[in-house]
Amino acid sequence: MSNLTKKRTSKSYEEKLANLPINSRENIQAAINNFKKFVQENHQCTPDQICGELIEIRNTKGEEEYEDTLYNFLQEWIDWNVSKDAGAYTIKTRFSIIRSYLYFLGVKSNPQDIKQLLKFPKKIQEERYPIKKQEIRDLVHAQARHPKRQALYLALSSSGMRQGEALYIKKKDLDFSLERTMIRIKAEYTKTKTARTTFVSKECHEKIITYFKNLDDDDYVFTNSHGDFKTRGRSEQMALSNALEVLGYNEKYSSNGVYKITSHSFRAYFFTAATRKHDENYAHKMTGHGGYLMQYDRMTDEEKLKLYLELEPDLVVFDQTRNELEIRKLKQENETIDQLRDEVRKLREFQSEQDKKIIQNMKNEGIIIGK
């Protein structure tokens, strides 16, 4: 066999995953493992063997027989997942991955045939639960022995970072040169592979500085876990789940059994506040989504900070911090009023002097008579 025509196998497909981001790699591998389990349970063979049989049917019996066999097989896999209590969204996501996987192995499917011939379970759309400030406060207090985790919750809710992004942040990624702590999120940390900057609130900054001086440049800012990304993520997920149980905030969605409060709830809290204060495009930009207006890419860090400071009072979760921000805002407004009054006074004095000069000139020219 030529080096240019190596046989494609499950093993060679999985080897290709090595260069993908860890979250994507794990999701794809989980879908493939699910498919392997189905094939083994229902057909007592491997995906490679199944694909070999399908290709043989196509080559010997024609396209019609091939398509009937393929879509019956795929429907069987869908129904098997339903029997295992997999959710509609999960099945759709797995199918998208498996379709690409089968294509690599030589088994091609048609989007129109999929739409017409396969029946997927209907996705149940439950209303997303909006986390409340009191709940964030309680979750922060519940981690009193873990200041980095407290800072993590405050960072997620005040910056819009994904937890996966925050768990990569190191001391050297923080910038204290502006009025609020700025975080430079490197492209390799992000889901979209696009670098960006964001800010965290004053109350988050105050929590960070309680331990910041003890960190080395390459130490993680928002987690004590020294394991790989997967380990760090699971550690934080377990800590949040335990806190939800202790606090009684353990209500779950009926459709999938997932807690209504997750790490994503903090990010959604920021997105909602940012959208209401400024606009949706600003919120998308700050949270690292696509589809935002380019005007935000052209802004300097100082201009972005100005918008952030306007938003910050809506983000803070502790009343004391909010009160301090409101007092500061009132002081700034009073200073502005005083400056305007001073400018008005100076204008009036200047205008009075000008009027006197005009009158004096008119007297000198004999236009008016008088003292």
pLDDT digits (tens, 9 = 90+) for 283-307: 888 888 765 555 566 778 898 999 9
The residue type found at 346 is K
User: Which pLDDT does position 2 carry in this prediction?
Assistant: 46
Both tokens assigned to 257: 């059994």
The residues, any chain, with a CB within 8 Å of residue 227's CB and separated by 6 or more, are 235
Q: Which of 216, 213, 266, 217 is nearest to 244 (CA)?
A: 266
Q: 169, 220 in Cβ contact below 8 A?
A: yes
Pairwise CA distance, residues 138 & 154, whole Å: 12
Q: What is the chain's alpha carbon radius of gyration, rounded to the nearest angstrom?
A: 31
Question: Which of 69, 9, 65 shows the shortest CA–CA distance to 43?
Answer: 69
Q: Where do we find the tokens 């670098």?
A: 195
Query: Which residues in the chain land under pLDDT 70?
Result: 1-6, 290-297, 319-335, 363, 366, 368-371
Task: Give pLDDT, residue 293.
Answer: 56
Measure the CA–CA gap between 235 and 58, rounded to whole angstroms: 48
Q: What would the pLDDT profile of 11-55 be if each residue is shown by its tens digit?
A: 989 888 887 877 788 889 999 999 999 999 999 999 999 999 999
Q: Which of 94, 25, 107 is nearest to 59 (CA)?
A: 107
At 287, phi and psi to the nearest 5? -95, 0
Q: In whole angstroms, give the CA distance from residue 206 to residue 212.
A: 10
- Please, which residues bridge with residue 197 across strands? 184
Main-chain phi, psi angles of 252, to 5 degrees? -125, 160
pLDDT of residue 214: 94
| Res 360: pLDDT | 75
DSSP assignment string, 302-359: HHHHHHHHHHHHHH--SHHHHHHHHHHHHHHHHHHHHHHHHHHHHHHHHHHHHHHHHH
